[in-house]
């Protein structure tokens, strides 16, 4: 049984209604997808496409771009041209921009129907989305809730109520291609809100902790918030929001999914915390191995352990690993020692062993 099956076995996933974004299904039995958002100026097509290219390389499966003005909307066809993953336009308030984005061929919209003005505007957007089979994500954000919902202060009920209002507007128009997010930077608040909403609707959930912070703190906060919901079976697509390069968001998202055994992607590094038995520079070695593993796109568990006494045994579930000794180390596979190599060659020899495993799998 691989980790993906194991995660699925232990976690009963909420049954959500599947929604189609281009080639990617969100919800239902589809794998939990990883998405991110560009932070380039959307009207700068070259920069935006280059960033999307890097996001795809990292494993991003859905990409969102902000569409704050006409210039950005005009850039959408060129951004979409030849794109291999679904493109979502993020619109606030201006329904003209939503219509322009749909016309440009985007695969999804993030827009809150209650925020775009009169009913005629909502009808225009919904009709256009319906015609092109484009789903709409209702993106409720704790920072921008309707005033009347805040009379008793910011609480999970207010987030849920806001989402239900937007849902009602769409359902009244016969539109059900909906995803919902209820984001807050306060983790307990967003956790409770998603749990409450799960009792009320079957639309797929886009989950994330908004304004989570910098790469270090934001990754932890996201892992706690997103991880808690996923472990309860909630969540169909995830976005980690970080103040930093969005490629990091994708990497962190996969680490969260891998930790829960819900997705497998690329190599997973297992490394010990080191202790008084460590006689090699394990911190540098683990850093170098982690860097080189970013180029491996097959599921593989790689262990970097500090000592030969406990290392191979503690990491016997790893496909391959190294364990440090005195100026030398051991290479092992599934806990079985293969050979001894000098410390300065450990990383190179480990990478060779990884190549052998991959070649073996590929039948080369
Ligand atoms: Fe210490 Fe060895 Fe365990 Fe690493 S593997 S923490 S060096 S006992």
Instruction: Report whether residue 275 contacts ligand 1, using a CB cutoff of 6 Å.
Output: yes
Structure-model confidence comparison of residues 299 and 137, the more confident one: 137
User: Could you give the CA distance from residue 231 to residue 211 in angstroms, rounded to a whole number?
Assistant: 22
Give the atom of ligand 1 at the shortest distance from the alpha carbon of 276: 1
Angle at 105 between CA 69 and CA 40, to 5 degrees: 45
Q: Are residues 38 and 160 in the same domain?
A: yes
User: Are 84 and 229 members of one domain?
Assistant: yes
- Return the pLDDT at 8: 62
pTM score, two decimals?
0.89
- pLDDT for the residue 118: 87
The predicted model gives 27-43 an average pLDDT of 97
State the total domains in the chain.
2
CB atoms within 10 A of CB 7: 21
- Residues 128 and 185 reside in one and the same domain: yes
Q: Is the CB of 360 under 6 A from ligand 1?
A: no
Any atom of ligand 1 within 6 Å of the Cβ of 314: yes
292 shares a domain with 168: no
Tell me the best of 303, 306, 313 to mutate to test the pocket of ligand 1, counting ligand atoms within 8 Å of each CB and taking the most.
Answer: 306
Q: 280 CB contacts (<8 Å, ≥6 apart)?
A: 306, 324, 325, 327, 329, 343, 346
Domain housing 8: 3-259
Tell whether 171 is in a known binding site.
no
Which of 206, 231, 259 finishes a domain? 259
**Does residue 305's CB lie within 6 angstroms of at least one atom of ligand 1?**
yes
The angle formed by the CA atoms of residues 187, 11 and 179, to the nearest 5 degrees, is 55
Dist CA 314 CA 317 (whole Å)? 8
Domain-terminating residue out of 259, 284, 314: 259
- Whether the per-residue pLDDT at 111 is higher than 90: the answer is yes
**Alpha helices (runs of H) in 132-209, residue ranges in sequence order:** 156-172, 187-198
Question: How far is residue 99's CA from residue 101's CA, in Å, rounded to a whole number?
Answer: 5
Q: How far is the CA of 333 from the centre of ligand 1 (A)?
A: 17
Report the C-alpha gap between 218 and 23 in whole angstroms. Answer: 30
CA distance 42 to 100: 14
Distances (CA, A) of 164 to 125, 132, 183, 356: 19, 24, 14, 54
Of 309, 316, 332, best ligand 1 pocket probe by most atoms within 8 Å of the beta carbon:
309
Where residue 296 sits, what CATH number does that domain have?
A: 3.30.413.10
303 and 190 part of one domain: no
Q: Is 324 in the pocket of ligand 1 (CB under 6 A)?
A: no
- Which domain-ending residue is among 212, 235, 259? 259
Residues 111 and 222 in one domain: yes
Ligand 1: does its nearest atom lie under 6 Å from the Cβ of 304? Answer: no
Which residue's CA is the closest to the ligand 1 atom numbered 1?
A: 275
Report the distance separating Cα 301 and Cα 354, nearest Å: 10
Q: What is the pLDDT of residues 179-213, one digit of tens each?
A: 999 989 999 999 999 999 999 999 999 999 998 88
pLDDT beyond 60 at 2: no
Q: Are residues 217 and 166 located together in one domain of the fold?
A: yes
**Quick one: which atom of ligand 1 is closest to the CA of 307?**
2
The answer to whether 178 and 200 have CB atoms below 8 angstroms apart is no
157 and 221 in a common domain: yes
Is residue 272 lining ligand 1, measured as CB closer than 6 Å? Answer: yes
Alpha carbon nearest to ligand 1 atom 7, residue: 306
Same domain, 20 and 168: yes
pLDDT category at 76 given cuts 50, 70, 90 is very high
What are 112-124's pLDDT values in tens digits? 988 888 889 999 9
Length of the chain: 364
**Is pLDDT of 7 > 90?**
no
Q: Please tell me whether 272 is known to bind a ligand.
A: yes
Q: How far is the CA of 290 from the centre of ligand 1 (A)?
A: 18
Pair (246, 327) in one structural domain: no
CATH of residue 108's domain is 3.20.20.20
The answer on 30 and 151 residing in a single domain is yes
259 pLDDT more than 50: yes
**pLDDT at 109 (0 to 100):** 97
Rg (the chain; Cα; Å): 23
Please tell me the predicted confidence (pLDDT) of residue 1: 46
- State pLDDT tens for residues 303-340: 999 999 888 888 999 999 999 999 899 999 999 999 99
| Distance separating alpha carbons of residues 219 and 239, to the nearest angstrom | 11
d(CA 13, CA 237): 13
- CA 275 to CA 290: how far, in whole Å? 20
Mean per-residue pLDDT over the chain, rounded: 94
25 or 151: whose pLDDT is higher?
25
Instruction: Determine the distance separating the centroid of ligand 1 and the alpha carbon of 305, expressed in angstroms.
Output: 6
Does an H or E element contain 248, and which?
helix 246-259
Question: 349: closest CA among 339, 359, 358?
Answer: 339
Once rounded to an integer, what is the mean pLDDT over residues 63-83?
97
| pLDDT score at 4 | 53
Q: Binding residue per annotation — 60? A: no
Same domain, 127 and 247: yes
């Amino acid at each position: 049984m691989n980790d993906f099956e194991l995660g699925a076995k232990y976690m009963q996933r909420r049954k959500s209604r599947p929604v189609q974004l281009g080639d990617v299904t969100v919800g239902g039995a589809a794998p939990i997808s990883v998405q991110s958002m560009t932070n380039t100026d959307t009207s700068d097509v070259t920069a935006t496409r280059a960033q999307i290219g890097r996001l795809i390389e990292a494993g991003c499966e859905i990409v969102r771009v902000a569409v704050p003005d006409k210039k950005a909307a005009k850039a959408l066809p060129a951004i979409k041209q030849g794109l291999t993953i679904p493109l979502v336009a993020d619109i606030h308030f201006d329904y003209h921009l939503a219509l322009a984005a749909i016309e440009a061929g985007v695969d999804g919209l993030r827009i809150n129907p209650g925020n775009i003005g009169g009913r005629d505007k909502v009808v225009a957007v919904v009709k256009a989305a319906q015609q092109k089979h484009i789903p709409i994500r209702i993106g409720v954000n704790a920072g921008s809730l309707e005033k009347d919902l805040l009379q008793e202060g910011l609480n999970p009920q207010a987030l849920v109520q806001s989402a239900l209002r937007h849902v009602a507007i769409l359902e009244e128009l016969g539109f059900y291609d909906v995803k919902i997010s209820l984001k807050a930077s306060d983790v307990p608040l967003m956790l409770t809100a998603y749990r409450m909403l799960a009792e009320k609707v079957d639309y797929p959930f886009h989950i994330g902790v908004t304004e989570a912070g910098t790469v270090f703190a934001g990754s932890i906060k996201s892992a706690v918030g997103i991880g808690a919901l996923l472990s309860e079976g909630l969540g169909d697509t995830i976005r980690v929001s970080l103040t930093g390069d969005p490629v990091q968001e994708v990497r962190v998202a996969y680490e969260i999914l891998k930790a829960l055994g819900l997705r497998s992607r690329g190599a997973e590094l297992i490394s010990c915390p080191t202790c008084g038995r460590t006689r090699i520079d394990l911190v540098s070695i683990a850093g170098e191995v982690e860097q080189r593993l970013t180029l491996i796109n097959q599921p593989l568990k790689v262990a970097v352990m500090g000592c030969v006494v406990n290392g191979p045994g503690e990491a016997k579930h790893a496909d391959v690993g190294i364990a440090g000794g005195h100026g030398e180390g051991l290479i092992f596979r599934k806990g079985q020692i293969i050979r001894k190599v000098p410390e300065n060659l450990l990383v190179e020899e480990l990478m060779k062993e990884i190549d052998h495993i991959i070649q073996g799998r590929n039948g080369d």
